[in-house]
Amino acid sequence: MSKSAARHNFASRLKRLPVAITISLASLVLIAIVFAMVRKPETSQSNNATEEKPESKSSTPWNLALGNVVVLAPELGLKITAPENTTIEPTRVAAKIEAQLTSLRQLYRQQSEGDPALLGGLTLQLTLGTAGQVAEVTVLSAHLKDKEFHKAVSAEATKWNFNEIASEGTVIDCPLLFVREGMDIATVVNWEKALIIPREEHAPAMIPREEHAPAKSIPQARVTKKK
């Protein structure tokens, strides 16, 4: 091959080099675009998964007691029986009870310090007298075994007043929950619900008396002595 021919081939190759470089760069750009399009759905799915995780955690909120507390638990049977021709709003009664629990909470904190097992539900029945004062307190049910504590709680409840909310003769079934520090209040409520048994189920069964036929007299054998 002559020198002129070699120079001609080299010059033609130089002319085609920019075109080849341009094609290579275009191919790289196209590959990058396709790769980005493929990765985008995966990234969005992973983002959605990370966004859904906090929602699943927040769907089970905890209501932990920050100390040994006493709360009103309407779910356990708050009931108001009013006299005839009288209308009483349960929400106002519940709010009034909550507002008068301060002294009872102090009592529970003092008593529970020496008794770790002092927790659970206690339902009081309040009968109102004149001017909304509590005239009578009865313990309807209790999972607290300390009888002396029952008396102390009942004594505190006699200091409550429902003036301008409920009239004389109103009967209030007041379910209270005594919860120790760190316990989930909703869990304790569910536990108390499971322990509640209707009165009809645990009432003593009436066994009818059987009617027995009169016993027949048994003739006595005559004993004779031999001579």
Domain locations in the chain? 1-60, 69-196
pTM for this entry: 0.59
Q: What is the pLDDT of residue 194?
A: 87
Per-residue pLDDT at 24: 61
Q: How far apart are CA 212 and CA 142, in angstroms?
A: 42
pLDDT at 103: 95
Task: Give the pLDDT score at 179.
Answer: 92
pLDDT reported for residue 201: 40
* Cross-strand pairs, 127: 136, 171
Torsion angle of the four alpha carbons 40, 43, 47, 50, in this order, in degrees rounded to the nearest 10: 160
For residues 66 and 85, give the distance between their C-alpha atoms in angstroms, rounded to a whole number: 42
Among residues 66, 67, 119, 123, the alpha carbon closest in space to that of 97 is found at 123
Low-confidence ranges of the chain (pLDDT < 70): 1-63, 65, 197-227
Looking at this protein, which amino acid is placed at residue 190? N
Looking at residue 227, its pLDDT comes to 42
pLDDT at 29 (0 to 100):
56
